[in-house]
Chain A
Amino acid sequence: MGGKTVKPAGKGRVALAFALTALALVALFLVAVNTGSLQVSLGQLFNGLFVAYDDSVATIWDLRFPRILIAMVGGAALAASGVLLQAVIRNPLADPGIIGINAGAALCAVMVVALFPALFYFTPLFAFLGGCIAFALVYGLSWNGGLSPLRIILVGVAVSAMFTGLYAAFGAGSMSAGASSIISGSITMKTWADFRSIAVYGAVGLLLALLVWRRCDLLALDDKTARSLGLDVAKNRVGISAISVMLASITTAVIGPISFLGLVVPHVARLVVGSGHKALIPYSMLLGAFVLLLADTVGRTIAAPAEISAAVIMAVVGGPAFILLLIRSRGAYGN
């Protein structure tokens, strides 16, 4: 870490940030519900949902609600995954997309969907396996008596490219609609079944992520110092990595690989609520939910009736953001 210091975020500022972001998420949710060819008034929506059957509302319920909720859970999961990954490898530039976890998860998910469609509900588990393989590869190949921040990114980019090539080739060969929907990273055509899949596994992952904040705080110190406080650094690295990989893989299994969200959201969150993980982890989830829902909603309006996938939106916005972070932190991560 460089000599730069940052003013610590006060409790009032943190509470305000949570409140404003939550409010923005609710507002965005209502906008997203009403975005598309079919539109209803707020009153009609409430009436249709809670009082009496309404044809339009029922259609929106079946087509838009799953997609909106999936985007929110997925965004929260990817952001949390990024925070945990950054804590584990002590590198704020780590992102599950950039270092190949998403690509590994996507490859396994695509293979399951194409080859064993009967195992649909277990797709997230296979994706988790793929994510673990990719992460183990990156970690193993960049280990050199320690983890150099730059080395892990470089190895990650290579592993990511390899798995991306593999699943693209595999997907092109299989021609399965389910497989191609994973590859594109779009949230189109999602159903309540998809939501159940991401919600069940995602809830477990998000809950675990919320429990490890104290360990993440200690990992931000030097390894020996963390050990001197009684933390088994190696064991906790493995455990927290597993949670991170799980969150990213589950999301990838349902939405497809989305890069940069796990990088940009935690970074912005750190600026707002500080680097203490007690606030950082939940706030990143909230902000992640907002950002992915925004990306998806913008993606389906900007070129309507054509749709631009959330993954593309995130890449277009996240790529430049990543470059900006690299430039800003040149001194700190160049070695």
Chain B
Amino acid sequence: METSVFTVSDLKFAYGPHARVFDGLNLSIEEGVVTTFIGANGSGKSTLFNLLTKNLKPDAGQVLLRGADIADVRLRDFAKLVAIVHQHNSAPPDLTVERLVSYGRTPFQRFGHAATEEDEEAVEWALELTELADLAAQPVMSLSGGERQRAWIAMAIAQGSKVLLLDEPTTHLDVKYQLDVLNLVNLLHSELCMTVIMVLHDINQALHYSDRIVALRDGDVVAQGSPFDIVDPALIKRVYDVDLDVIERDGRPYVVTVPHPEF
């Protein structure tokens, strides 16, 4: 029997009286796998991300984290269970990579106490994993886009939680760095058995790196499951409203994101 890390039940959310996003959403996200939300702009994938991360409050319904309603979990305790990498990140111009990564230990540091040995080890480990040890003394904002994103992921790793959520971690990066970041996420999953939940814009990267896909359209889950099982031209049509071919490589489906000559 599979266990679910997040369970969304009868979730309702609206940004305003005429901007309803979810009207009774039900969803279960499995522990220990990589789950990716896909959907067109306005499908609700970012809103769902913000509801899972306590940045938005549901109007009705619940989001359960391993059975506990996250509305009742204090931010600090939530931060010990779940690490989040948001889409937009900035830092003061002189903040070093090492300092930034050490902020990941904030949920564990009692007010006014210095960092413990355990904190320092966690920071060092996160820097090693993300291959940032050599850049530890550099200001974050002086790094390339890809290195910068790795630094924020390193901060999240230093939190030591088993669940990692990433909101469009590859946006604004060159394709080389996009792959760097996704390979790193893949490593965190395969080596550390982290549960990964992310929002991705690129459909093929979503299909390649995910165990489970949650496809959203207008606030509804139109399909969820393994990419092998659910992806076909009909699904792509329903999610993105375009007719595209689906091809296979090593049995895994990919979408040809240019129109077929016949259309």
Contact = CB atoms under 8 A, between A and B. Distances in A.
Contacts of A176: none
Contacts of B196: none
Contacts of A232: 75
Interface string A223-234: 011011111100
B93 A6 contact: yes
A228 B103 contact: no
B75 A220 contact: no
B86 interface: yes
A331 interface: no
A9 B94 contact: yes
Interface string A1-25: 1011111110000000000000000
B106 interface: yes
A276 B99 contact: yes
A8 B86 contact: no
A228 B83 contact: yes
Interface residues of A, number: 26
Contact of A224 (B79, B86, B96, B103): B86
Contacts of B55: 224, 227
A214 interface: yes
A231 B104 CA distance: 11
Given A1-B90, A275-B94, A276-B99, A229 B106 contact: yes
A218 to B, nearest CB: 7
Given A5-B142, A8-B137, A276-B99, A230 B88 contact: no
Contacts of B77: 230
A222 B100 CA distance: 12
Contact of A275 (B75, B83, B93): B93
Contacts of B95: 8, 220, 275-276
Given A1-B141, A5-B139, A221-B103, A228 B53 contact: yes
A230 B75 contact: yes
B67 interface: no
Interface in A234-250: none
Interface in A204-226: 211, 214, 217-218, 220-222, 224-225
A1 B106 contact: no
A274 interface: yes
A222 B90 contact: yes
A230 B103 contact: no
B249 interface: no
B94 A7 contact: yes
B91 A229 contact: no
Given A221-B103, A222-B86, A276-B99, A228 B91 contact: no
B92 interface: yes
Contacts of A218: 103, 106
Contacts of A275: 92-95
Contact of A229 (B88, B90, B103): B103
A9 B86 CA distance: 28
Nearest to B91: A221
A227 B56 CA distance: 12
Contacts of A228: 53, 79, 82-84, 86, 156
A221 B92 CA distance: 8
A5 B53 contact: no
Which of A7, A217, A224: most chain B Cβ within 10 A? A224
A274 B86 contact: no
B54 interface: yes
Which of B103, B104, B142: most chain A Cβ within 10 A? B103
B78 A230 contact: yes
Given A222-B90, A228-B83, A8 B96 contact: yes
Contacts of A7: 94, 139
Contacts of B103: 217-218, 221, 229
13 contacts: A7-B94, A8-B95, A218-B103, A222-B86, A222-B90, A224-B86, A225-B86, A227-B54, A227-B75, A228-B79, A230-B77, A231-B75, A276-B94
Interface of B: 53-55, 74-80, 82-84, 86, 88-96, 99, 103-104, 106-107, 109, 111-112, 137, 139, 141-142, 152, 156, 159
Given A225-B86, A230-B77, A275-B93, 16 more contacts: A5-B139, A8-B95, A214-B111, A218-B106, A220-B91, A221-B90, A221-B103, A224-B53, A227-B55, A227-B75, A228-B53, A228-B79, A228-B83, A228-B156, A232-B75, A276-B99
